[in-house]
Amino acid sequence: MPNFHDYDDVTTRPKVQAEQHGNTDQARNQRTRTLLEKRKDAILDALADPNLSRGERKLLEVQHKEIRTDIRTIKYGAPIRVLRALDRKWK
């Protein structure tokens, strides 16, 4: 069993900061924003296809509208729970 009474050992251990691993809210926001922007670009590329059926075009237009709304939601920061939900939604 380790000796936890050695307080000097505990206080001199290197600290691991969240920023070192990209776990900050800002980094998470940026990753999610990048994911959404890539997805939006893919939707716009698909909409440029002249061979789309009416149903496919309508579906892509709805997705484009949704993703633009989601990007506006996180534009100036969002809670981590919102970012996780958007990650799940658009992956």
- Examine residue 34 and state whether it is found in any structural domain, yes or no: yes
- Of the candidates 23, 21, 41, the residue with the CA atom closest to the CA atom of residue 83: 23
State the amino acid at position 21 in one-letter form: H
- Examine residue 10 and state whether it is found in any structural domain, yes or no: no
| 4-63 pLDDT, tens digit each | 555 555 555 555 444 444 556 788 888 999 999 999 999 999 999 999 999 999 999 999
pLDDT of residue 6: 52
**Which segments of the chain does DSSP mark as H helices, in order?**
7-11, 25-47, 54-74, 80-90
- Examine residue 9 and state whether it is found in any structural domain, yes or no: no
- Examine residue 4 and state whether it is found in any structural domain, yes or no: no
- Examine residue 1 and state whether it is found in any structural domain, yes or no: no
For residue 75, the number of C-alpha atoms closer than 13 Å in the C-beta half-sphere is 7
Band of residue 77 on the pLDDT scale cut at 50, 70, 90: confident
- Examine residue 70 and state whether it is found in any structural domain, yes or no: yes
Domain range enclosing 57: 21-90
How many domains is the chain partitioned into structurally? 1
Residue 91 and residue 35 in contact, taking contact as beta carbons nearer than 8 Å: yes
Number of neighbouring beta carbons within 10 Å of residue 14: 5
- Examine residue 35 and state whether it is found in any structural domain, yes or no: yes
- Examine residue 8 and state whether it is found in any structural domain, yes or no: no
